[in-house]
Amino acid sequence: MLKAVGQVPVKGLVIPNEIIFNWILLGFLGLQYLWFFFVCLINKLAEPIFPKKIKDETGIIRKIFHFLMMWPTITAYCCVEVAAFLEVTIRGKSVCSHSASKKDGLVVKKEGQSVHPTNDLKPDRFDV
């Protein structure tokens, strides 16, 4: 990455060569996965306070896959955010509708009732 056009290496002002630059990048990736490990650890330690004492019964292979896919998932999400930001910047506020975050139809409310989830009525969207 630090090479100029052709095969002549470039000496940087801060980073002396390409090998050190690659080790710095790997160090940042390792630091990112260290934080992901802490997130997974806190999730595991918080299981006793989950409602109804629900235990995570995900298999070890799937847990490893989820751990490895954390960084690509967050990176892809950030790319989507940048694309959405650029679309709002270029096309204006009229494209910003927040329809994905609407909560209509999550709770059925009858006359005189307070809002609470019900199981006795079919939802008006997304037949279950």
What pLDDT score was predicted for residue 53?
78
Structure tokens at 5: 């056009």
What pLDDT score was predicted for residue 13?
77
Which residues in the chain come in under a pLDDT of 70?
1-11, 98-128
What pLDDT score was predicted for residue 111?
67
What pLDDT score was predicted for residue 128?
43
Task: Return the residue matching tokens 């490990």.
Answer: 37
Q: Can you state the angle between helices 70-91 and 18-45, rounded to 10 degrees?
A: 100
What pLDDT score was predicted for residue 23?
93
CA distance 37 to 35: 5
What pLDDT score was predicted for residue 54?
80
